[in-house]
Amino acid sequence: MTLYGYFRSSTAYRTRIALNLKGLSYDNVSVNLAQDKQLEAEFKALNPQGLVPVLQADDLLLYQSPAILEWLEEVYPTPALLPKDAAGRMHVRALSAMIGCDMHPINNRRILQYLRNELSVEEEDVMAWCHRWMSDGFVALEQRLASNKTRGDFCYGDSPTLADCYLIPQVSSARRFKVDLSAYPNVVAVDAHCRTLKAFADADPMVQPDAPQ
C-alpha cells in the first residue's frame, strides 16, 4: 500500500495509526502541504478535492480518512478497531465524528489560509478561532470520556479503537496551536497512554521521513 500524506496532517496521522495498529506495512509519499502540492494537477488526479490522505491499495485509490479507516476495518478486521456490539460501535464512531466532523475541519489549513489571505484576519484572531473551536470540542470529549465508567485506558474499552486514531492527532494539533489542555485530564491521560504504544509512536509526525530534521 502507498499512503499519500504529510507528516503534520492530522488525517494522514490518523490513517498511519490505523495502518500501524493493523500491522500493515505501507510506503509513504509526502505531499507537501506547506508548498500547496495538494493543489497541483499531479495530486488532484489522485484526489480532485486536493486533500490528503489518499491510500493506494493495489488498483484501489481510497480517499477521505473516515472511509479509509472503515475500509481498513472491513478488509483487515484483526485487531478490531470497533467494538463487537452495535452500541459500542455507535459510541466509537460518534467520538470519532466529534473530532473528524466538528473539530478538525474548521481548523484545517485551507480554512485558516482563507481567514488569513482572503478575509485579512489578523494572526491573533486566527489563533482565537482555532482555540475556540478546539476547546469547544475538547470540553465535550472530556465529558464523554469522564462519564464512561467502564472505560479503560483508551477512548472506549480496554483496547485502541478508531476513536483513539482520531483523538491523538487532534491533541497533537492542539499542542501545536498551544491550546491549554489542563481542563481535560481524561483526554490527556488517553493521549499519554496511547503514546506508549509503538503503533502510535511510529505514526507521530516528528518521526516521519518528511518531518524537518
Ligand X SMILES: N[C@@H](CCC(=O)N[C@@H](CS)C(=O)NCC(=O)O)C(=O)O
| Interface positions with ligand X (CB under 6 A) | 9-11, 33, 38, 51-53, 64-66, 108-110
C-alpha grid cell for residue 206?
Answer: 516528528
Residue 62 or residue 157: which is nearer to ligand X going by CB? 62
Residue 21 or residue 51: which is nearer to ligand X going by CB? 51
Q: What is the DSSP-derived secondary structure letter of residue 25?
A: -
Nearest residue relative to ligand X (C-beta): 110
Q: How far is the CB of 63 from ligand X (least distance, A)?
A: 7
Q: How far is the CB of 8 from ligand X (least distance, A)?
A: 8
Q: How far is the CB of 118 from ligand X (least distance, A)?
A: 13
C-alpha grid cell for residue 88?
Answer: 459500542
Residue 108 or residue 148: which is nearer to ligand X going by CB? 108
The answer to whether 25 touches 173, Cβ cutoff 8 Å, is no
**How far out from the chain centre does Cα 116 lie?**
23
Q: Report the C-alpha gap between 38 and 207 in whole angstroms.
A: 21
Which 3 state secondary structure label does DSSP give 140?
helix
The answer to whether 154 touches 161, Cβ cutoff 8 Å, is yes
Q: How far is the CB of 206 from ligand X (least distance, A)?
A: 16
Residue 52 or residue 187: which is nearer to ligand X going by CB? 52
